[in-house]
Amino acid sequence: MIKLIASDMDGTLLDDDKRLPPDFFEVLGRLIDRDIIFTVASGRTYSALDHLFPEPYRDRVAYICDNGACTVLNGKPVNVTPLDGETYRELLEACGDIGDLRVVVCAESGVYHINSGDRFYSEVGRFYKKHSAVEDLFAVNETIYKVAVCDETGAMTHGKPKLDGIFGTRLNVQVSGEVWMDVMAAGVSKGSALKALQEKLGVSRAETMVFGDYFNDVEMLRLAEESFCMENGHEDVKKMCAHIAPDNNHGGVTKCIRRFALGEGIGV
């Protein structure tokens, strides 16, 4: 019996216009009635996620934020692994030295990036409802959960190999899209956060269902017997999953939850 469901957001639960499936809150209500915990697992910060879930649902959803650097359960942080200050400064310097990399800093009180009026500003707004342009990212003096890096030359072929070559195992660099990478402290990922949540809740792999679409979801997908890659997901990620869900623009997540977790006779 499924007791815990975790879903990536962008490209998975949300459609291309960043909207939840039309039947999401109906399905969520049924999960709550059955004591099945629904978990949002995202590269976004908590402040960029919680507004999607109005009361009374907001604190009934668990949140794996910043690709695993911060987990929120029952409205309270339960697992936080920030970047230390020295490593944060080294990372900013490395991104500047490599070139062609644009940086978004996800911190305790907000999301920050260098002042810019070009297309990058609009791209940031697609993922973060609230974000602030600043003159100096080195001056951000608060807890840093994650640094998102935009590499328009190709995250997988350019930015990730460069950063991995500099930091090795000191940082976890995860490709989250064609031009995006998320950089967290070593050992931090959606998978590590989900594993900690499973242990806290006493939930096994057989009792877990996970949805994702890209490489930063892989460690999380491996923690569930019922693993689903979206039809619109990366072909290599599909090969790692037990199931293929309908695409994110056709409510693939809620369709599969209805069939596999709620036992409704809906074909997928």
Q: What is the dihedral of CA 248, 253, 258, 260, to 10 degrees?
A: 130
Instruction: Tell me the pLDDT of the chain averaged across its residues.
Output: 92
Please name the fold of domain 4-80+189-260.
Rossmann fold (3.40.50)
> What average pLDDT does range 221-247 have in this prediction?
98
In the predicted model, what is the mean pLDDT of residues 187-203? 96
Say what the pLDDT of residue 51 is. Answer: 84
Please, which pLDDT band fits residue 108 given cuts at 50, 70 and 90? confident
DSSP state of 214: S
* Lowest-pLDDT range of 51-60, 123-132, 145-154, 256-265: 123-132
CB 131, CB 110: distance < 8 Å: yes
Q: How much is the pLDDT for 152? A: 87
- Please report, rounded to a whole number, the percentage of residues in the chain having pLDDT higher than 90: 76
Starting at the edge strand found earlier in the chain, the sheet holding 132-134 runs 132-134, 111-114, 101-107, 144-151, 180-185, 171-175
Residue-wise pLDDT for 94-105, tens only, equals 999 998 898 999
pTM for the whole structure: 0.84
pLDDT over threshold 90, residue 185: yes
More confident residue, 37 or 120: 37
- What does the pLDDT average to over 195-224? 96
Asked whether the CA dihedral 4, 213, 112, 105 is positive or negative, the reply is positive
Could you write out the DSSP letters of every residue in 65-86? EGGGTEEEETTEEEEE-PBPHH
Phi/psi for 78 (5° steps) reads -120, -15
Q: Whole-angstrom Cα distance, residue 100 to residue 122? A: 17
CB 32 within 8 A of CB 60: yes
Half-sphere exposure of 123 (CA within 13 A, CB side): 18
Q: The domain at 85-185 falls in which architecture?
A: 2-Layer Sandwich (3.30)
Q: Which pLDDT belongs to residue 87?
A: 96
Q: For 137, what's the count of Cα atoms within 13 Å in the CB-facing half-sphere?
A: 27
Summarize pLDDT for 27-42 with one digit per residue, the tens. Answer: 999 999 999 999 999 9
Cα(10)–Cα(214) distance, integer angstroms: 10
Q: What's at 59, amino acid-wise?
A: D
What span, in angstroms and rounded, lies between the C-alpha atoms of 218 and 124?
A: 24
Q: How do the domains of the chain map onto residue ranges?
A: 4-80+189-260, 85-185
How many Å apart are CA 99 and CA 29, to the nearest integer?
A: 47
Which H or E run contains 56?
Answer: none
pLDDT at position 119 is: 64
